[in-house]
Amino acid sequence: MTTMINPQMGPLSEGLPGAEPMLFQRPVPPNLVRRIRPSDVFVTDLRVTGYNAFQVGVRWPAEHLFYGPATRDSHDPLLFLESLRQAGLLIANMAFDIPTEHKYITHDKHFSISPAGLRTNGGRPVELVIAVTAHDIRRRGRGFAGMRFEFVCYRDGVQVGTAGYRWSTVSAAGYARLRGERGQAEPMPDPEAVPVCPEAVGRRDQIDVMVAKLPGQDGWLLQIDAEHPVVYDHPIDHVPGNGAIEVARQAALLVLGQPDALPLRGELSFLHYIEFDKPCMVYATVDRVCADGATAVAIRIDQDGHTAAQGVLELKA
């Protein structure tokens, strides 16, 4: 494994966990985590703590344009998921030396976060440490083809969340071959679609609403607004994973009729790219009530005759 140097963070330490204090003062350079604006970067530091083991510093802002807080007392669980995505990219780029121009494909994801881990901090940022381990590492020649990351999240030294996901990576040229003409597709809005009002899905702005109703149709039509400043903040040729998860969350909120419910746990599989130029329907069904009072909602995202993504979110108001 190659130990890289982030010019903003200094050398990666290779001591025991907790041997050096984690840095939280400023985010890492946005290009390392596929972001454009520093305000959308939540990871701050990276330490190597063992063989394929790492710690990542995370700083949640008191306010964010897209990631909330979700309620007065709670940060958005999707802020947790975005932090994990950024932590994984930082490790892939800096610890495994995967070129920043490579493309990433997420295959599945699971997560669990406690309400205590999400609580707001009186208008001040929240600092967390995420311990990450890499498993099932696959190689392509002398480089890396993919792996599985497992995460354990700590706040004030107490474990508050866990997660994991499998991913693959491909060169920019390989991705262009894989996508072919799809790489030039553009969103095609349906003139008959009626967007859901923001308040019904826990949002304040219409641009953040990603589902709409079609007359006479069950489920909801996935809405794509390529001008969204966070979900589509850089050129992309399909609906990204964080967009798909937000769509799933909004559908779950609608079927529950509880716009303030928080997705505290979930399992999602990503089976096909969600394309820009074909209609995509999202279906949500109440599955069961969990022991802690959360409600499990089954999600299915269908496009062009196949299921593009599916899973379960467990939400609690």
Same domain, 307 and 243: yes
* Cα Rg of the chain (Å, integer): 19
Band of residue 20 on the pLDDT scale cut at 50, 70, 90: low
Q: Rounded to two decimals, what is the model's pTM?
A: 0.91
Question: Tokens for 270?
Answer: 């990503």
**What is the DSSP code (8-state) at residue 124?**
B
Give residue-wise pLDDT tens across range 84-132: 999 999 999 999 999 999 999 999 999 999 999 999 999 999 999 999 9
> Is 176 a member of any domain?
no
For residues 18 and 153, membership in a common domain is answered with: yes
In a shared domain, residues 264 and 194:
yes
Last residue of a domain, one of 170, 198, 233: 170
**What's the structural domain count of the chain?**
2
Q: b/e for 114-147, b at 16 or more Cβ within 10 A? A: beebbebeeeeebbbbbbbbbeeeeeeeeebebb
Answer whether residue 108 is part of any domain: yes
What integer pLDDT is reported at residue 136 of this predicted model? 96
Answer yes or no: is 76 within a domain.
yes
**How much of the chain, in percent, has pLDDT values that exceed 70?**
94
The boundaries of the domain holding residue 75 are 5-170
Taking every pair of C-alpha atoms in the chain, what is the biggest distance, in angstroms? 61
Residues 156 and 189 grouped into a single domain: no
Q: Is the pLDDT of residue 173 over 80?
A: yes
d(CA 15, CA 55): 11
Q: What is the pLDDT of residue 6?
A: 33
Last residue of a domain, one of 149, 170, 191: 170
Looking at the structure, tell me whether residues 188 and 106 fall in a common domain. Answer: no
What pLDDT, on the 0 to 100 scale, is given for residue 21? 79
Q: Are residues 79 and 141 in the same domain?
A: yes
Type and span of the H or E element at 88 = helix 77-94
Please write the tens of the pLDDT for every residue from 266-303: 999 999 999 999 999 999 999 999 999 999 999 999 99
Task: Give residue 11's Cα distance to chain centre.
Answer: 27
The pLDDT, as a whole number, for residue 216 is 86
Domain check: are 22 and 92 in the same one?
Answer: yes
Q: Are residues 72 and 101 in the same domain?
A: yes
Q: Helix 241-256 and helix 77-94: axis angle, to 10°? A: 170
Nearest alpha-carbon partner for 76 in 94, 58, 61, 57: 61
- pLDDT at residue 181 tops 80: yes
Query: Within this chain, do residues 135 and 235 fall inside the same structural domain, yes or no?
Result: no
**Residue 213: inside a domain, yes or no?**
yes
For 29-84, the pLDDT digits (tens) are 999 999 999 999 999 999 999 999 999 999 999 999 999 999 999 999 999 999 99
Among 114, 147, 170, residue at a domain's last position: 170
112 and 200 share one domain: no
Is 213 found in the same domain as 105?
no
Structure letter (DSSP) for residue 73: S
The answer as to whether 178 is a domain residue is no
Residue 175 falls inside a structural domain? no
pLDDT band at 182 (very low <50, low <70, confident <90, very high): confident
Mean pLDDT of the chain: 91
- Which of helix, strand or coil describes residue 82? helix
Residue 177 lies in a domain: no
The CATH number of whichever domain residue 85 belongs to comes to 3.10.129.10
Q: What is the pLDDT of residue 185?
A: 85
pLDDT-derived band at 235 (thresholds 50, 70, 90) equals confident
In this structure, the answer to whether residues 243 and 161 fall within a common structural domain is: no
Say if 67 falls within a structural domain: yes
